[in-house]
């Protein structure tokens, strides 16, 4: 990690982070099948996505010395109302910061935050093969629940897509509506979760 005087921090993303996030996301789109997008969004589009996610779910960045090293966010699993207690989750890390604990730290912030909101299920959708992502998610308790064979075509190849599930809360007879993150982000429990998540970073 950086030796800058400022300490690493995990915080909620803003529209101003779109450029730093694109520095991480662009090579994923252009050179890999990790994302099934084939054209990288503009900074304006990325800012719009951040704002849209932030209306209902957390989008975190891990920043050190003024640079964004990675980001993680949740989004609706499906649009139908009965799915509203389930989310898809994703994490992306700057290429030269991988294996430094950045992805794990971001998830250790995101997953407890989702529990506080009343979210019951987190789903990781992984284009295969991607052994690093599979290992990360399984180390956090995600379990494989199914694979769509040869469902995406990118960079001249067909790719399987696996779905990994993490149960965040036990099923409740009356779960109540999930709480918006802006109602929790000033709470001591929320701040403690973000602080604790940084413990896994490697120097």
- With CA atoms as reference, report the closest residue to 99 among 186, 203, 21, 171: 203
What does the mean pLDDT of the chain come to?
A: 93
Q: What pLDDT does residue 48 have?
A: 97
Give helix 188-197 / helix 102-117 axis angle, nearest 10°. Answer: 160
Torsion sign (Cα): 196, 199, 201, 203: positive
Query: 3-class DSSP state for residue 49?
Result: helix
User: Does domain 9-177+187-198 correspond to CATH entry 3.40.630.30?
Assistant: yes
Domain residue ranges in the chain: 9-177+187-198
- 3-class secondary structure, 118: coil
Q: What is the pLDDT of residues 141-169, one digit of tens each?
A: 999 999 999 999 999 999 999 999 999 99
Between CA 186 and CA 182 the distance in angstroms is 8
pLDDT at 21: 98
* pLDDT string in tens for the chain (203-residue length): 444 447 899 999 999 999 999 999 999 999 999 999 999 999 999 999 999 999 999 999 999 989 999 999 999 999 999 999 999 999 999 988 888 899 999 999 999 999 999 999 999 999 999 999 999 999 999 999 999 999 999 999 999 999 999 999 998 888 999 999 989 988 999 999 999 999 878 76
- The pTM assigned to this predicted structure is 0.93
Whether 106 contacts 71, CB under 8 Å: yes
pLDDT digits (tens, 9 = 90+) for 23-33: 999 999 999 99
- 169-189: b or e for each residue (b if 16 or more CB lie within 10 Å)? eeeeeeeeebeebeebeeeee
β-strand pairing of 143-154 with 157-167: antiparallel
Strands 121-127 and 86-93: parallel
């Amino acid at each position: 990690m950086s030796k800058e005087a400022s300490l690493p921090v995990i915080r909620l993303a803003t529209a101003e982070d779109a450029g730093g996030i694109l520095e991480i996301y662009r090579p994923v789109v252009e050179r890999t099948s990790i994302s099934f997008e084939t054209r990288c969004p503009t900074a304006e589009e990325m800012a719009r996505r951040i704002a849209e996610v932030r209306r209902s779910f957390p989008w975190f960045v891990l920043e050190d010395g003024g640079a964004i090293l990675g980001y993680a966010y949740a989004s609706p699993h499906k649009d139908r109302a009965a799915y509203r207690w389930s989310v898809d989750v994703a994490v992306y890390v700057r290429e030269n910061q991988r294996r430094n604990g950045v992805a794990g730290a971001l998830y250790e912030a995101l997953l407890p935050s989702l529990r506080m909101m009343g979210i019951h299920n987190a789903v990781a959708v992984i284009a295969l093969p991607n052994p690093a992502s599979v290992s990360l998610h399984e180390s956090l308790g995600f379990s494989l629940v199914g694979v769509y064979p040869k469902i995406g075509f990118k960079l001249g190849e067909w790719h399987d897509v696996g779905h990994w599930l993490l149960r965040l809360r036990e099923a409740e007879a009356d779960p109540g509506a999930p709480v918006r993150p802006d109602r929790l982000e000033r709470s001591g429990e929320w701040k403690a979760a973000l602080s604790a998540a940084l413990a896994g970073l490697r120097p």
